[in-house]
Structures are given as structure tokens and as C-alpha cells.
Structure 1
Amino acid sequence: MKPVEWADRPRSGPLDVVVTGLPSDAHTWNLVFIQLLLEDLGHKVVNLGPCVPQDEIVESCCKFEPDLLVVSSVNGHGFNDARPLIEAVRSRWELAGLPAVIGGKLGVGGGEREQAGELMRAGFDAVFQDGTGDEPGFAAFTSFVGSLAVTR
């Protein structure tokens, strides 16, 4: 018999989502907005809040076993914190297949497309940045979440 923390969970219905800020980002309104949006779409959300240490994010994902990790930043330093975070997430066998996305203002010096590509190569499944694509980040994000719910 498996211990409770490793027991298989049914994977039907709404997604279980962990929403978090990065260690250097103290903003909360973006996290509350994402939480409310996801809940309005019918999903269950654990919001870790702002300024979350990398190790706490990784351990929370192991504990809550989410279907999706959503990382948000608005201070322009997200790119610097995001790469080590996703590398830490992907280094854990329990989280190797966890869909993980990041969005918001990830840099301040330009090069947003290059940063997005680098974060995707590092292990994020999607990067949603303001003003960098043909489709607004909000619509692309909700579309991505909807595709996860359908394919799960």
C-alpha cells in the first residue's frame, strides 16, 4: 500500500493549480487576479503569495501535486528568478512532467522574445509576456489552461 502522500489521485474534473510569485517580486494583485480567473474557470487554486523562496515553491508542488504551476511577476526581474526555479522544479522526478507557465513583466531591458525562448528551453511549457505576441497574454493563458483541462 502506498503512503497517503504518494497515493494515486483521480485526475478528472477541474485542474489543481499552484499560483506563485517569485522570490524578488512583492506584488500581490497579479496573483489574486490569476487565482480569481482560474477559480472562475472552475479550477482549484493554491496561491502561495508573493516573495516565495524557490525551495518553498518546489516543496509546495511536491506536497499539493498540482496539474499546473503558474508563476507570475510584475517587477521586471522575473527572468532572473525564473530560470533557476524551473531548473529546480525539473530536477525533481515527481515534478518532471508538471506543466509550468510563467507570465507578466519578466525583464526591463528589452529582448523579451529571446528571454521567452530561453525560459522555454529551460523547461517552462509556456511564457506569457505583455505586449510580445499577436494574441494578448490573457487570451493565450486562458486558452492554454483550457487545453490542459481538455487533454487531462
Structure 2
Amino acid sequence: MNHAEGLEVSADGLSVVLTSVSSDSHTWNLVVLQLVLEELGHQVHNLGACVPDELMISECLRLRPDLIVVSSVNGHGFHDGLRLIRQVRSRAELAGTPMVIGGKLGIAGPGCDRSRAQLTAAGYGAVFEDGTGLTAFQSYVGRLAIGQAS
């Protein structure tokens, strides 16, 4: 079953957990994404930078968000993101929760279709690479909020 199909959006929008990967100490990207999501009418639980995988998973189990957003700036998003999504998807309670990743996912720069395909195959609903702007992300979140995103 597509989790988004059964999603009931409250009057306050989606409940979103926003996090970085465990190796990423950057915070400006998280602040920007939090503001974007809040401007779209969603409730954001920003876990901050350098979030250990276990903490992110425990917070998602506690909060049961409608969406998990992972942002990376340090270039290790691909490897850390793969490890993280596998752990999230191994939890039955979170297996259907929409999860996206974006930012600087590798040190080679944007445009690696193979990396994007691997992240999607592992369970991310969408991959937003550095330099592509926020329009696609905002569109995805909007579709999710009305139950049309996968």
C-alpha cells in the first residue's frame, strides 16, 4: 500500500522529521528547509546536525511523521543515506513512511543517475541533488500533502 494514499493531513499540514546524516555537521541547510516546509504549512521537527542513525529512528518511531527529509551538505549523503534508509525500512513501523534525501550526495557532484537509482531502489521516495533548486522538492511535498506522491 502506498503510505501517501492513506495519509490524512491535519489542518496544520504534514508532520515532517528533518535531519542530516550522522557525518554532516552543517545546519544552514536544515534551517532553510525548515523555513520552506513551515511556509508550506507543515509542522517540522528539526533534529539538527550529526544525528546518529539510532536517534533519528527512535525519534521517528516516537513522532510517527508523515514525511522524513534527510539533507546532506558534506558530500557523504549517498553512503550515509543508503545506510540510513536500510535501517529505517527494516523497521515495520516506518517501512511505509515517505522519506526523501537531498543536497550534496557525493564528492563527484550532481548528476550521477546510478547513485540516484540506488537511493530510490533502497527506499527513498525522491532524491533531490545539490544545485537543482527547491522547486522539485516543494512540488513533491505538495503532492504528498494531497495524497498524490509515491
Task: State the TM-score, normalizing by the size of structure 1.
Answer: 0.87
Unpaired segments ≥5 residues, structure 2: 1-7
Residue 104 (str. 1) matches residue 100 (str. 2): no
Q: Confirm or deny that 1:31 pairs with 2:27.
A: no
Query: Percent sequence identity over matched residues?
Result: 56
User: Over residues 6-34 of structure 1, what are the superposed CA-to-partner deviations in whole Å (9 max), with x where a residue is unaligned?
Assistant: xxxx6433000000011110000000100
Q: Deviations over 1:42-70 (max 9, x none)?
A: 10000000000011111111001100000
- Residue of structure 2 equivalent to 1:118: 118
Q: Which amino acid aligns with 1:128?
A: F
Aligned to 2:127: 127
Which of structures 1 and 2 has the larger relative contact order (alpha carbons within 8 angstroms, sep 6+)? 2
Q: Contact (CA 8 Å) 2:105, 2:130: kept in 1 or not?
A: no
Is the aligned partner of 1:144 residue 2:140? yes
Pairwise mapping of residues 3-152 of structure 1 onto structure 2 (< 5 A)?
A: 11-13=9-11, 14-109=13-108, 112-131=112-131, 136-151=132-147
Distance in 2 (CA, whole Å) between partners of 1:39 and 1:109 is: 32
CA distance in 2 between counterparts of 1:113 and 1:120 reads 10
The one-letter amino acid of 1:149's match is: A
Moved over 6 A (4+): none
Give the unaligned 5+ runs of structure 1.
1-9
Specify which structure has the higher proportion of helix.
1
| Aligned counterparts of 2:9 and 2:108: Cα–Cα separation in 1 | 41
What root-mean-square deviation, in Å, do the aligned CA atoms of Structure 1 and Structure 2 show? 1.6
Partner deviation per Cα, 1:100-136 (whole Å, 9 max, x = no partner): 00000000125622111100001101000024xxxx3
Q: Max radius of gyration: which structure?
A: 1
Q: TM-score, normalised by structure 2?
A: 0.88
Which amino acid is the alignment partner of residue 35 of structure 2?
L
Q: How many residues align?
A: 140
Give the Cα–Cα distance (whole angstroms) in 1 for the partners of residues 45 and 95 of structure 2. Answer: 20
